[in-house]
Structure 1
Amino acid sequence: MQEEFEMSMMGELTYILGLQVKQTTDGIFIHQSKYCNDLLKRFKMTECKDAATSMAINCYLDLDEAGKKCRSKNVSRFQSAPKESHLTTVKRILKYLKGTKNLGLWYPNGSNLFLNGYSDSDFGGCKLDRKSTSGTCHLLGSSLIS
């Protein structure tokens, strides 16, 4: 690659594209604790309590037309008319991030390389437009790759 691109060796990789990288002899650990800390600081939630889950079990992100309007415009899906219920949900997600900011992806050295794929969907789960939500994940050995 050095013949094709201008490159310089600046030491071991520790940070790339918002991801922190910790390399050891046992493997590689990738996490975003710095990003989470910056996000909590930005929204003045560094001292908040942790949340065990990212959303409450009884939480449904509906249009909430009867709800009280929210002044904040940082609620992406409902940006045109966010309500306080949407802001409460975003705050819950930030509390969850505070409690899980030290979690990450572990890629161990020398593990067996077998490929597993998983998928899930909820078939018409959105109460507003009856659209489905689906997702997949793929593991190479015990490491998430997609």
Structure 2
Amino acid sequence: MVDEFKDVMQKRFKMSSLSTISFFLWLQVDQIEKCIFLHQTKYVADIFSWFKMEDERVAKNPLSVNHGITPEIQGEKFNQTLYQAIIGSLMYLTASRPNIMFATCLCARYQANPNANLMLAAKKIMIYLKGAPSLGLWYPRKDEFELTTYSDYDYGKCKRDFKSTSGSCQFLDSRLISWQCKKQTAVA
């Protein structure tokens, strides 16, 4: 069955091999006997190089509790294209790094009119990654299927419209299978 699928795919698409996956679209897959580990260690190193941030210090968290990120109208404007490129790179990292989801989504809200404070927040997320570049997702090979969900809200902390941001994650036993961070559409 696998060989038939491999033959069909190689006839339809230009492919070098259909062996065990180890690297796909900047996502690294390490398959060990008892688990699978998904991470983007090489991508983290590459974005530090692309944005010339190799010499930055290390941060202990991606965003301070009292971050003060607001859509300030005044303030020093920042290069929109560079800011969007950094935010886009960080958004792609959330595929294997749910720990930066909230901070990245918060910075992504203000891509149309970035200022120096927003750029500092985005850089802090980047330098947080420098301290732990190889974090990722572990998927143990078990037969247990207990679904657990966790959620949290910040209860109207947006300074502009006082809407809440919610976050949730779903686990199938000990495997993280889904996560999200979303600004609510209405005031709670």
Other structure's SS at 2:42 match = helix
The alignment of Structure 1 onto Structure 2 pairs a total of residues equal to: 146
Q: Please show how residues 87-98 of structure 1 align to structure 2 within 5 Å.
A: 87-98=119-130
Runs of 4+ in 1 over 6 A off after TM superposition: none
On the 8 A contact 1:111/1:141 being kept in 2, the answer is: no
| Distance across 1 between alignment mates of 2:170 and 2:160 | 30
Please identify, of 66-75 and 114-123, the stretch whose mean Cα deviation from structure 2 is larger: 66-75
Q: Which amino acid aligns with 1:107?
A: Y
Unaligned runs of 5+ in 1: none
Distance 1:126 1:14 in 2: 40
Identity %: 39
CA–CA distance in 2 between the matches of 1:28 and 1:85?
38
Superposition RMSD in Å: 2.2
Deviations 1:8-46 (A, max 9, x none): 553211012331100011110000111111111111012
Do structure 1's residue 145 and structure 2's residue 153 form an aligned pair? no
Higher helix share: 2
Which residue does the alignment assign to 2:9? 7
Could you give the per-residue CA deviations for residues 77-117 of structure 1, whole angstroms, max 9, x where no partner exists? 32333211111111101101111211111111236331111
Q: Which moved more, 1:77-86 or 1:87-96?
A: 77-86
Please give the TM-score of this superposition, normalised by the length of structure 2. 0.69
Which has the higher mean CA deviation after the structures are superposed, 126-135 or 84-93? 126-135
Deviation larger for 134-143 or 119-128: 119-128
TM-score under structure 1 length normalisation: 0.87
Distance 1:145 1:71 in 2: 36
Q: Select which of 146, 165, 169 maps to 1:114.
A: 146
Matching residue's letter, 2:53: M
Match of 2:40 among 32, 36, 41: 32
Gaps of 5+ in 2: 11-16, 85-107, 179-188
Which aligned pairs between 1:1-146 and structure 2 lie closer than 5 A?
Answer: 2=4, 6-8=8-10, 9-73=17-81, 74-75=83-84, 76-110=108-142, 112-146=144-178
